[in-house]
A and B are shown apart, each in its own frame.
Chain A
Amino acid sequence: MDIERQIDEFVLPGDTIALSTLPSPLDSSNSITLGPGLHYDKYTNAFTSHGCGHVREPSSLTYYIDGHRLSVSSLTTGDLILGIVVRRQLESLLVDIGYNELASLSLYDFEGSTKRTKPNVDRGDIIYGRLKIDGECQPQITCVNDDGKADGMGVLNENGYLFSIPIDIANDLIHHDNLLQELGNEIPYEIAIGANGRIWIKAAATRTMIALRKVILERAKNKSDINQLKTLFQQSLVS
C-alpha cells in the first residue's frame, strides 16, 4: 500500500519495497540484480514483491525474497540433496526432498546395481544423491557419478540423525566448512549436508550428535564466530 517496506522486513505479494533508487539505465556499473520474488515496474518506478517472505540483501545491490520454503529457484541441477524414501516402485523409488513433488530415483542408479541385484532400499531410508531439476518435470535423483561410482552417495546408515535447517545456511555450510573441520578435530563424526536444507550426522556417541546439532542450529540463528561455537560444543559435550 502506502508503506514502503525495508530490507529484512516481512512482505506480502504486492508490497512496495524501498531498495536503492534506480540509477540511469546507461550506467551499467551500478545495476541492481533482482532475485526470485522481486519485480520492478517501470511505469510506477517501484519495486514490488511477488512473493511472501523476508527481503534479503546477500551482497550489495543484489536482492531477493526468502520464502523459507524449497522452491525451484533454490535448487539447481547438480546439487547434492538428502531425501527420504516414500515408496518403492518396480523400477524406481519415490523420494521426498521437501519440494512440491516427490523426486524419482531409478533403482539402477546405485553403484553395482543390475537387473538381478537391485539395492536393498525401502520406505523410510535416507538417500544422499545428486539432483536433476527443471521447473516443469518431476525432479530426479541419481546416486552414481558418470563413471558409475557412488562416491559417498546412496543409502545412509540408519543410526544417523537427520534434521532440517534453513536453506541458505545449508548452502553456506557446504561452501564454507571450516567450522565443521574444526569440530572434526575435536571428535570424529560423519556429516552429510543436503542443499535442500537437511543435515544428517552420525557419531559414535549420542551426546556428540546432540552437541553437533546444537552448534549448527546456533550458527543458523546467530552466525557467531568459530571460537564461540567451539566453546559451546565443548560445553555441550560435558553437560
Chain B
Amino acid sequence: MTETISQINENDTSIFSCLHCKLSPISKATGSATFTLNDSLCTCLLNGPGELRQQQDAINRLQVDITFQARPGNNNTNSTSTKDKLIEQWLETLVRSTVLMEYYPRSQINIVMYEEQNLSGEATILACLCNTLCLTMLDANLPMKYAFAAVPIVQHPTKGLLSLPKTKDELASTSYFVFVFEITLNDILATHASGDFDMKILEQAISIAQPIARQIFQFYRQELEKRLT
C-alpha cells in the first residue's frame, strides 16, 4: 500500500463538474432537493415542522423522523436492511446536532431520503446523502446552527488518496473515508471510515477533504441564491 497523497492540481472550478443539484423538485413538500455527486444521485424531501401526530417523547423539542429508502436491488425484500437503518440513525444525529430543536416544541418534521442511483461504492453514496439532506434543510429554511457538507475520500492502491473519486477509482479502492464538515470553523462533524489505514493516512485524508468542503459550501451558496432569481 503506497503512502503518497495525490496532489489536487486541478483548478477550483473542476469539482463543480462533479456536483449538480435541483432544488424544490417536489413542490408540495416544505423543502426538497435532488443532488448528484459523480455517479450517485439522491433525492430528499422534508415536511414540517407540523403538528405532532403521535404520542412520542418530544414535548419541549422537535421530533425528527428520518426514513431512508435504498434502491431495491440485491435484497428482494421491501423492508429496510440493518445497514440502511444505521444510515438513518447516522443522518438523524446530523439533523439533531444542527437543527434548533427548542424553537419547535410539540412539533415534528418528516424527512424521506431516496437513493436513486449508485454506480460507485459506499463513500460516494454516503456523502451524496449527507449533502442532499443539508440542501433539503436549507431549501425548507429550517433554522439551523450551521450548514454541513460531506466529502468522500478513497485510498486507491496505486494512486493514493483521492477525493471525490470517479467510479472506476472508487471500485478499485481498498478503504474509504467520509468526512462531514460544518461551515463555521470547517471542523469535523461526523466521520465514517472503512478499511485498512493508520492515523497518518487519516490525518492526510482530513487535510485533503477540508478545502473541498469549502468549495461545496460555495456550491450551496450559488445554487440556493439561483433559486431566488
Contacts and interface: CB of A to CB of B under 8 A. Distances in A.
Interface of A: 1, 10, 12-16, 36-37, 48, 50-54, 67-69, 71, 100-101, 135-138
B100 interface: yes
A1 B30 contact: no
Contacts of B52: 136
A13 B98 contact: yes
A118 to B, nearest CB: 25
Give the dominant DSSP class at A's interface.
loop
Contacts of A15: 183-184
Q: For chain B, which range describes its interface: under 10, 10 to 19, 20 to 34, or 35 or more residues?
A: 20 to 34
B22 to A, nearest CB: 17
Q: Which of A1, A16, A100, A101 has the most CB of B within 10 A?
A: A100
A135 B107 contact: yes
A136 B146 contact: no
A1 B216 CA distance: 13
A137 to B, nearest CB: 6
B199 interface: no
B64 interface: no
A166 B113 CA distance: 29
B84 interface: no
A136 B183 contact: no
Q: Which of B105, B141, B214 has the most CB of A within 10 A?
A: B141
B51 A1 contact: no
B220 A12 contact: yes
Contacts of A135: 49, 104, 107
B221 A50 contact: no
Interface in B39-61: 47-52
B147 interface: yes
Given A1-B186, A52-B138, A136-B105, A13 B143 contact: yes
A14 B137 CA distance: 14
16 contacts: A1-B183, A10-B225, A12-B224, A13-B98, A13-B147, A15-B184, A48-B184, A50-B144, A51-B141, A52-B138, A100-B47, A100-B49, A100-B50, A135-B104, A136-B52, A136-B106
